[in-house]
Amino acid sequence: MTLGPVMLDLESTELSAGERELLCHPLVGGVILFSRNYHNPMQLQALVEQIHALRTPQLLVAVDQEGGRVQRFRKSFNPLPAPAYLGALYDEAPEQALAMARQFGWLMAVELRALGVDISFAPVLDVRKAKSRVIGDRALHHDPEIIARLGRMLMRGMGEGGMAAVGKHFPGHGSVKEDSHTSLPVDNRSLETIRLEDMLAFERMFHYGLPAVMPAHVLYPEVDRYPAGFSRIWLEEILRRQLNFQGAIFSDDLTMAGAAMGGNPAERAQLALEAGCDMALVCNDRAGAIRILEELRPAHLSVTSTRLARLHGRHPVEREALQASEAYKKAVQMLSSLHQELELDFGEDTPA
């Protein structure tokens, strides 16, 4: 059995019989976890092991663990600062910020890999602009060159921790005010302007070897009549052909309001895959997920499965051994000093 092109969510901290059946469907290739799926490390590890045991090759298990407002697993995990802190530090001490970004990426990855999680949808490569509240401090910086430098170190740290990075939200979500969770944002800039501003960080990261990317549910009418995640122009012509990106493409959650123009759930998934996505995310809509599995008719499954299989997590360590290691202690000490300096507060968990 190959990895299918659909990623589903779970309702609670344990797999139900119905969920086991759904996850064995040949069109399913992964599971995305949320805060509701986490109680403590032992429970999470057991849940991931159950998911991985269902099939061969194993389903991908993913989470949004960016840091700051978007960190799904918190209790018994180290609280990670908002990515914007790294950008602020870069303005004062570039070399220190780059080293910290690498440590940040490593710590995020190894804590997840110790419990079996394959990937975190990070880093955010959007340009930070005042108008975008949903991005805000999730973005590393306002300068795309600096975003790329910090993003490269985050990606390197994640790779050293056994995890592939997923850059988001291509070609850039930072220049629109609206939140694609609740509406369809419209970015009226020209392609040339987008290339010179928001896309630059992505282009640099592709050159550095970014393994995967997630397009934005944002409409760029000067380029195409479809949002980026449904657009063959953005995904096949610009991303694949012009930018020569060879990694995996994940859709953003197809239940978001920004994806509503794609039709019913099955039509949205079909449109995303036909546009060039390798995997369609369907969250918080079990009826919609079932309809997708019943009606979806994907093509090129062998190519999709090959791209996705490269994202399985690597070289996990036992959690106790990890926590006893000098590298882990050093990273935690670094974060401890940040907590004192920034008086970090998670606030509300934010949709990603």
Q: At what angle do helices 144-160 and 94-113 cross, to 10 degrees?
A: 40
Contact criterion met (CB below 8 Å) for 250 and 7 = yes
d(CA 22, CA 259): 23
d(CA 194, CA 108): 30
Q: Please, what is the Cα angle at 166 between 162 and 168, to 5 degrees?
A: 155
Q: Taking the C-alpha atoms of 198, 200, 204 and 209 in order, what is their torsion angle to the nearest 10 degrees? A: 50
Which one of 126, 252, 253, 278 is the catalytic residue? 252
Q: Is 349 a known active-site residue? A: no
In sequence order, the β-bridge partners of residue 31 are 8, 61
Residue carrying the six token digits 């970014």: 210
Q: At what angle do helices 265-275 and 286-295 cross, to 10 degrees?
A: 60
Contact criterion met (CB below 8 Å) for 101 and 146 = no
d(CA 8, CA 16): 14
Q: What are phi and psi of 209, to 5 degrees?
A: 100, 30
In sequence order, the β-bridge partners of residue 9 are 32
Contact criterion met (CB below 8 Å) for 144 and 164 = no
How many other β-carbons are positioned within 10 Å of the β-carbon of residue 45? 15
Q: Is 278 a known active-site residue? A: no
Residue carrying the six token digits 């960016």: 66
User: Catalytic residue positions?
Assistant: 181, 252
